[in-house]
Amino acid sequence: MNVGAPAQPISGSESKEERTKMELVFNIVVFTIFLVLWVAFAYGLVANQGGLDNIWKTIQGLPLIVQAIVWVLFLPVTIGLWIWESAWPLLVRLPLVAALAGWNIWMFFPFKG
């Protein structure tokens, strides 16, 4: 019995192929979540800016631990909300939020190259 030996992979090619499929599914799910959040954010900018204010106030009203979890899970969108709720001029906030949204969607796009 070899107690200190590292675990052997079940089967090299199958486990890697399954992992790759799971990674693709995960990437598609995460991409879809962020795409929906950014579309909702854009809708809020156009149709309901008060809704964005309410979401920001709701996040701020959460317990600190829950706030930290929300910030970590949805970091690009919460940074976008923070930028939007700042007192910066509109001509600064809008391009920053748009660039952040574009960068976020591009980084999670599952079918790059």
Instruction: Single out the residue of 42, 35, 91, 37 nearest to residue 59, CA to CA.
Output: 37
Query: Does the global pTM surpass 0.85?
Result: no
Give the span between the Cα atoms of 27 and 34, in whole angstroms: 11
First and final C-alpha spacing in the chain: 46
As to burial, measured by CB atoms within 10 angstroms (0-12 exposed, 13-18 middle, 19+ buried), residue 80 is buried
- pLDDT for 24-79, tens place per residue? 999 999 999 999 999 999 999 999 999 999 999 999 999 999 999 999 999 999 99
